[in-house]
Structure 1
């Protein structure tokens, strides 16, 4: 992303060298010259402008950007043009009356412009033109749900520049027009990609999902891929699952294999599972093609003593919506729920084997089988620890095992406090009814 300083006229710069100019933050410099009323350029790059201080020419520049419906962030408290526009916006928002505008606001704006830019005293026409530009800017700032102006108060507790990237993306999202028809999904996908790229899940929730809560949107698999494979994007996985992303329709055997192969950091998997448990050389960039049916089942068997955990055929049938058993509506619903449970278990195993502790925790919290799954994760981490070459990593893995052990105990304590009888019944369930069955010898 480029940061371009957009200067005003040479005379303005010479007359007031201490003033700063507007800063335009964008991804496409060519879009600056565009008159198209859209914050996105023709080649798909968004643009947001930021105003810090500024001169009369800067106000004219902001006016043109607002006319083009390009969002502007104004840093309140930096002085000059930024504070004059902020003042006008706050005043007109408080009293949107024609008499107030003509009788007070225009007069006060003219006075402030003269105080800030003394050279305008000799040019009433220019002063009034700039004043009218300010009036136009603040009147067009709010258009229903759309906002073209965003103000950051540097002297308030909520205006921290540490969150400046969040203000930029929020300004862009809030400035967008509502779309209909086939454009809805395209806009939502484009916006979600931006929040993923900037790692702002809270903004995805507030500015995309909650603002469009009445819109049914099917999340594309590639966005879920991005959330799973991206660095520190686990919160998006949680968010997408909250939006009814169907995991078993996503996690076919080929997709699981793909997630292993496309992972950015495979060192833990290679050291512990491929080399340590399976005895492979670890030289290949990709896991074996039969890894889901054979490799994974051998690894899970070694770590937990559970046989045939993965079934490639069943995973692929579930992903295609082919369920076996009762064909009644209720029967199909039960099979779907069962398929979703299994997909969640498979995904948790993936997270543990990749040493994605946070992802495993997020998925575990969504499970209807928290105690056995927590114990499975604990067991796997504990058994994987000896395969770690570095002592610090062994300690970390053992700590993660302890974390899941504590989770299981915590759930058990809570269940006992809420219903001790049901808890004892759950613990006393017969082996044949447990969710993970060992292969009969």
Structure 2
């Protein structure tokens, strides 16, 4: 794109043309390249460094490059750099050539009738012509016309005025200063030296970078820069040498050389604004570094403005080496209001390295992150990231386009993505109260917030602290947790990884990020977004999941018990979830299948019972013969230190210790000893009885305790009292499981009896037991719903219905009481019997959940469930094939059928059984005789249709279904161990929270619970 303008055009109109008509974004930096008009050669290494550095400076800073535009001299080298960049990248650099109209070859091709001209421009030069071609690798041209032909200089004044005007326009760095301008000199003649002096005398001055080794003016400037003192005075003995060099280089007379030397010395009086670049320099290894360093060194920007420049350029190396030169003392020199803006900009622009640099140099996230600033982060992020968050918010309510997202809205999104019973801190009542106190119904200003500070109480319970010296009042106790959630929701993976590395609760943060990314990936897949975006989110989920697994493994290697405690520690900032619960929520199977997690689940499953082999036999025997409880071994208090205890158990232990202390003081020693001897003899006798029952082989599994038994000595390792032993036995999840299983088998046997025998007018004893069992089971399901973690009743129902067996139980109980209602009517006993018969199916299927506890059988049950779920699509295809044949067959064979519901049955009846091999051969082609009725018209078509149907359905679809199931089996078989270990958590926690007694005796547990609350 180009524009032909007059030499006296207004610079503001030219900038308006560039920004509005050419759609160019305002630059963060303006690099003005000056040099010779004649072609010159560069050393290959210097040429490579010059090209690479210039392009890097433009790319990293979003700069514009001003050149002379014509394809000679230094512009030719700039064009070569642009050409090399264009071959490697599609990113276009804004390079504007400002050239005089009168020196352009083939300029007639650029003349058009309208304001918008598309002209083919001939780039082949005429060797006999003194005019020059435009460099075609520039993105834009401004062609300055002053009416002359073949003369340079018309563009110089307009170029300087345009540069000055751009320098006064506020750039996108957000620092309130104009666009910084820097001059870049390569080679050049005397006019370049004059231009450098003009740059240095500007107000504010323009820093200049001189490329040493490019020749002529650049080398003379570099030599003088090295050989003058700080005041610009030339070193002794060099005056004549410099004059001679000038005369030889530019073919000047002595007087001209002296005049140019004075110009050079005038430049050296401001030598701090000149930066000399040469290859091999330790200070400036690249041209881009020299350019940016010159800007920081040659301008009067404050430290905060320099940091904003480095931030806008995305050059953390510049900030580290030239802004933070005082280390953490930089924070002392900078006011609070000045350093929080760079941090906010670094977060918004996703500059992870800058955030890290600011934190390393003393920026406190605890002071920085307030409710106001966190909301600003959610509302000033990238437009595409904001739209994703708004899409999630639309699930809750319709939002206007200009709606400003609040933290309460963010809390709703986090709860939706986390799922289950998770409650975000932002949606809790205490935080809402704090939020409305701070902002009111209309998001009050900071001044109004100061007036409300006196009304607020402490907010430490919601992870927010109040500080009267902070004008924004509130800071977060765990800022890196909040910023991690922000980074994940904004889909900034590098930033999320950085915040995971800082702050507390690293394991919990990794699991939360894993869950959030999993949910975001699922949402992206359902909304059919870009597949690359979905894969990127899923990869982030895998990465954080692996971090959590590695962290758990490292902790487990260092201290096993502390690692187990880490899994069960309640996280106040994450809805009182534990790390184990977060891992299950994110479906992190390798984490749950880890040795540490499985050891914890095994210990929780056994409770305080210390048994390894034949545990099922010992537990069942102890349930059926309660005195056997005395011979069981129990873990010590140290062995149970990593398992979370209920408040009731903790209080019971405290009372027991007090009782023992009192008993030791009050009871005579002989009485204590006699009771101990009696208990030991009783337990020893029961042990002998049990060992004879189990056999010698099982007795050998006792380990160390077995050797003690052979010696005739039994020592109670845990020192538990009789009441505590009974309590610990019946509260162990394994005991609850077998107790409930035995009761369930008894219920199922009685229900089977009720279904099989004739129903009497009045319920029998067996039927009353079944009714009582299911009635108490229904009450237990209601208790589970009300005792679940979600706060809202609707959410409790939703979470409870997520379990398949809960749905199965609900349908079974509902159907059963429908049957009970029917059997209360004497004339509906048959109907009640039928409903009973259908209902018993649900309770026999429920037995599969009992077998899921077994490590060998459990994976197969999970495979069956997966097969049933994933076969739906194939079943739909098979149903379409079946209906297509069934309807055609029914219509041909029975042309005069009357309307009836039997028609629907007949359509699918025989075709369905044909799938399993029943082809009804006698009916395929029956001849007309005395035994069969006459054939209907067109009946001969049905055998052909049946042959096609059986080929498609029986051979193709059935075999496809078998192959599909086989594939599912192989996939599940490979992960069957991890799958079972993952589901082990669910039934361990289920029986851990379940009352001791099974239905119908569970009523006693309810009465005990009610009495304890009183």
TM-score (norm: length of structure 2):
0.34
SS class of match (2:333): coil
| Shift in CA distance, 405/26, structure 1 to aligned 2, threshold 3 Å | farther
Question: Contact 1:28 / 1:46 at 8 angstroms: preserved in 2?
Answer: no
Matches within 5 A, 1:76-87: 76-87=212-223
Matched, 1:174 2:174: no
Indicate the residue corresponding to 2:276 in structure 1.
151
The match for 1:407 among 537, 540, 547 is 547
Aligned to 1:227: 346
Distance 2:306 2:519 in 1: 42
1:236 CA drift (Å): 2.6
Deviation at 1:208, TM superposition (A): 1.8
Tell me the equivalent position of 1:324: 458
Q: Name the CA shift for 1:4/1:302 in 2 (closer, same or farther; >3 Å).
A: closer
Show the counterpart of 1:127: 257
Match of 2:319 in 1: 204
Deviation at 1:399, TM superposition (A): 0.2
The Cα of 1:352 is off from its aligned counterpart by: 0.7
Distance in 2, Cα, partners of 1:350 & 1:215: 30
> How much has 1:300 moved relative to structure 2?
2.9
Change (3 A) 1:294 1:106: closer
Is 1:113–1:127's contact at 8 Å kept on the other side of the alignment?
yes
* Distance apart, 1:74 and its partner CA: 0.4
Q: Is the 8 A contact 1:73 1:168 kept in 2?
A: yes
The match for 2:538 is: 398
**Matches of 1:150 and 1:260, distance apart in 2:** 42
Kindly indicate whether the alpha-carbon contact (under 8 Å) linking 2:32 and 2:181 is maintained by their aligned counterparts in 1: no
203, 207, 211: which is aligned to 1:75?
211
Deviation of 1:172 after TM superposition, in Å, equals 1.5
Q: How big is each residue's C-alpha offset from its partner over 1:163-220, in whole Å with a ceiling of 9 and x where there is no partner?
A: 63x433321211245xxxxxxxx82333233223222232223222225736243235
Unmatched 5+ stretches in structure 1: 9-16, 35-41, 142-146, 178-185
Q: Is the 8 A contact 2:184 2:208 kept in 1?
A: yes
Matched with 2:359 is 241
Q: CA deviation at 1:259?
A: 2.8
Mark the CA change 1:413 to 1:85 in structure 2 (over 3 Å): closer, same or farther: farther
Which range is displaced more, 60-69 or 233-242?
60-69
Q: Is the 8 A contact 1:48 1:172 kept in 2?
A: yes
- Aligned twin of 1:39: none
Q: Do the aligned partners of residues 140 and 425 (structure 1) sit closer, same or farther apart at CA in structure 2, a change above 3 Å counting?
A: same
Report the CA distance shift for 1:403/1:18 in structure 2 as closer, same or farther (over 3 A).
closer
Query: C-alpha separation between the residues in 1 aligned to 2:297 and 2:256?
Result: 32
The corresponding residue for 1:368 is 504
Counterpart secondary structure, 2:302: helix
Whether 2:569 is the aligned partner of 1:431: answer yes
Deviation string 1:373-411 (CA, Å, 9 cap, x unpaired) is 111101110122111123322211110011112223344
Matched, 1:263 2:410: no
3-state secondary structure, aligned to 1:49 = strand
Q: Hey, what's the Cα distance between the residues in 1 that align with 2:504 and 2:196?
A: 54
Q: Equivalent residue of 1:428, what SS?
A: helix
Q: Distance in 1 between matches of 2:319 and 2:32?
A: 27
Matched, 1:353 2:489: yes
What secondary structure does 2:382 align onto? coil
Displacement after TM superposition at 1:282 (Å)? 7.0
1:308 aligns with 2:424: yes
Aligned pair partner of 1:112 in 217, 222, 245: 245
1:324 match: secondary structure: coil
* 1:416–1:137 Cα change, 3 Å: farther
Alpha-carbon contact 1:229-1:262 (below 8 Å) kept: yes
SS of residue paired to 2:277:
strand
Higher relative CO (Cα under 8 Å, sequence separation at least 6) belongs to 1
Q: Is the CA contact (8 Å cut-off) linking 1:238 and 1:363 kept in structure 2?
A: no
Q: Deviations over 1:225-276 (max 9, x none)?
A: 322222x433333333334434455444444333333322345x645x5545
Task: Quote the residue 2:637 is aligned against.
Answer: none
Aligned twin of 1:63: 197
* TM-aligned CA deviation for residue 151 of structure 1: 1.9
- The answer on whether the counterparts of 1:19 and 1:55 sit within 8 Å (CA) in structure 2 is no
1:353 CA drift (Å): 1.1
Residue of structure 2 equivalent to 1:194:
309
Relative to structure 1, the CA distance from residue 226 to residue 111 in structure 2 (aligned partners, 3 Å threshold; closer, same or farther) is same
> Closer, same or farther in 2 for the Cα pair 1:385/1:33, shift >3 Å?
closer
For the Cα contact (< 8 Å) 1:77–1:153, is it kept in 2?
yes
Q: Is the 8 A contact 2:365 2:479 kept in 1?
A: yes
| Matched position secondary structure for 1:88 | helix
Structure 1 stretch 150-159 or stretch 130-139: which is displaced more? 150-159
The alignment's C-alpha RMSD in Å is 4.5
- What CA distance in whole angstroms lies between the structure 2 residues aligned with 1:200 and 1:97? 32
Q: 1:106 to 1:294 in 2, by over 3 A?
A: closer
Distance 1:26 1:208 in 2: 29
Match of 1:183 in 2: none
2:10 aligned partner: none
8 A Cα contact 1:297 1:309, kept in partner:
no
- The answer to whether the 8 Å contact 1:26/1:47 transfers is no
The separation in 2 between residues aligned to 1:256 and 1:296, in whole angstroms, is: 12
Aligned to 2:762: none
Equivalent residue for 1:37?
none
Query: Gapped runs of 5+ residues in structure 2?
Result: 1-26, 37-70, 76-97, 99-155, 169-175, 439-448, 578-788, 792-1014
Q: Offset at 1:323?
A: 8.1
How many angstroms apart in 1 are the aligned matches of 2:161 and 2:477?
43
Quote how far apart the aligned CAs of 1:426 are.
4.6
Kept in 2, the 8 Å contact 1:351–1:357? The answer is yes
Q: Please state whether the residue corresponding to 1:51 is helix, strand or coil.
A: strand
Helix, strand or coil: the match of 2:534?
A: helix
Question: Aligned residue for 1:52?
Answer: 186
Distance 1:167 1:209, change over 3 A: same
Shift of the 138–416 alpha-carbon distance from structure 1 to 2, 3 Å rule, reads farther
Q: Is the 8 A contact 2:232 2:270 kept in 1?
A: no
Number of matched residues?
391
Instruction: State the alpha-carbon separation in 2 of the partners of residues 325 and 285 from structure 1.
Output: 33
TM score, norm. by length of structure 1: 0.71
